[in-house]
Amino acid sequence: MKKPYNVINLRGEEEPFSLEKVYQSARRTGASDLLAKKIAGNVEQVIYPGIKTTKIFEMVEKGLNKGDSRAAIKFSLKKAIGKLGPTGFPFEKYIGAILKKFGYEVDLNRCIPGRCISYEIDFLARKEKLLYVGECKYRNLPQEESINSTIALANFARFLDLKDGQFFKIKQYKDLEIKSILVTNSKFSQDAINFSKCRGVDLLGWRYPKNKGLEYYIESQNLYPITILPSLKSYLSQALVSKNIMLVKDFLNMDIQRFSRENRVPQNQLNLLLQEAKTLLGIK
């Protein structure tokens, strides 16, 4: 092992280089132990003080591409979610699609009156006796700030005003547990976590809760966003999202020929995406 080096993360800050992180990042995609060790070893040989983590990311992705095409696609999950933007609405639709796959009834973008004012609610999600009032905080770029306590405070204040209003007092909601949930594709600050725990607000973000973060819900049920497919062009992504095709699984189930005809998309482009989707989901 070379002497300890500092690397530059996405926020432009220095942090110690971790060979274990490189190895684990490859393993999380499903790459074999042998391939992950090989990639980590190759990275170790070429790193230098001040190297950017984006460069390390590229080296890992290149190594996965050579050794395991499925793992290589899965490795770009976080970047793929960042491609849902630039606005937060496609992210809200994506979260709604995930929740539906987990058995929730989902209602997106409702205007609901609170006690004092009305609010645009990103989603309501109901499952059995639980009703989530959901707020999504989308980060278009990885280096954007984490979800801090100011955002957590504002979310809870909105939730309290909604609960004090008349909307959730009608018979339809009378016997339900009504909870607030804050969802992001980024991370939460420790203050945001502490406050939300104290106030009974559920959080779902990148690698949070530990071992049950957003990536867990995606990977455990293969709920990958359509933007993870390497050959997907921006214009085609927008066309698919407009038709509520948010998941790779949904893309596999659509009528490719009809979509090609109605949207004037060359059939060969869709066939390439279809093959990438099958590779990702392990379908032959």
pTM for the predicted model, two decimal places: 0.89
For residue 1, pLDDT beyond 70: no
> Looking at residue 57, what is its pLDDT?
93
Mean pLDDT of 24-37: 95
Q: How confident is the model at residue 9 (pLDDT cuts 50, 70, 90)?
A: confident
> Looking at residue 5, what is its pLDDT?
83
**Same domain for 162 and 93:** yes
**Same domain for 92 and 10:** no
Looking at per-residue pLDDT, the higher value among 84 and 276 belongs to 276
For residue 272, pLDDT beyond 60: yes
Q: State how far the alpha carbon of 175 is from the alpha carbons of 66, 131, 134, 163, in Å.
A: 55, 10, 19, 14
Mean pLDDT of 89-117: 95
Least confident segment among 70-84, 130-144, 249-263: 130-144
Q: State how far the alpha carbon of 62 is from the alpha carbons of 3, 54, 81, 180, in Å.
A: 25, 12, 20, 41
**Same domain for 209 and 146:** yes
Q: How confident is the model at residue 144 (pLDDT cuts 50, 70, 90)?
A: low
188 within some domain: yes
Q: How confident is the model at residue 25 (pLDDT cuts 50, 70, 90)?
A: very high
1 within some domain: no
**Same domain for 66 and 29:** yes
**Same domain for 248 and 167:** no
DSSP string, the chain: -PPP-EEE-TTS-EEE--HHHHHHHHHTTT--HHHHHHHHHHHHHH--TT-BHHHHHHHHHHHHHHH-HHHHHHHTHHHHHHTT-SSSHHHHHHHHHHHHHTT-EEEEEEEEE-SSSEEEEEEEEEETTEEEEEEEE--SSTTSPPB-HHHHHHHHHHHHHHHHSSGGGSGGGTTSEEEEEEEESS-B-HHHHHHHHHHT-EEEBTTBSTTSSHHHHHHHTT--BGGGSTT--HHHHHHHHHTT--BHHHHHHS-HHHHHHHHT--HHHHHHHHHHHHHHHT--
Mean pLDDT of 79-85: 88
pLDDT tens figures, 238-265: 889 888 899 999 999 999 999 999 988 8
234 within some domain: yes
Least confident segment among 53-57, 94-98, 115-119, 170-174: 170-174
For residue 164, pLDDT beyond 60: yes
**Same domain for 18 and 37:** yes
Domain encompassing residue 124: 82-220
Looking at per-residue pLDDT, the higher value among 141 and 108 belongs to 108
Least confident segment among 106-115, 122-131, 136-145, 274-283: 136-145
> Looking at residue 140, what is its pLDDT?
81
**Same domain for 178 and 120:** yes
Q: Which of 122, 121, 135 is nearest to 182 (CA)?
A: 135
For residue 3, pLDDT beyond 80: no
Indicate the residue among 22, 57, 75 that finishes a domain: 75
Mean pLDDT of 26-40: 95
- Contact between 213 and 166 under an 8 Å Cβ cutoff? The reply is no
For residue 142, pLDDT beyond 80: no
> Looking at residue 141, what is its pLDDT?
67
Q: Which of 119, 93, 118 is nearest to 108 (CA)?
A: 93
**Same domain for 175 and 143:** yes
**Same domain for 109 and 206:** yes
> Looking at residue 104, what is its pLDDT?
97
> Looking at residue 174, what is its pLDDT?
85
32 within some domain: yes
> Looking at residue 241, what is its pLDDT?
86
Considering the chain, what is the average pLDDT of its residues? 92
pLDDT tens figures, 107-124: 999 999 999 999 999 999
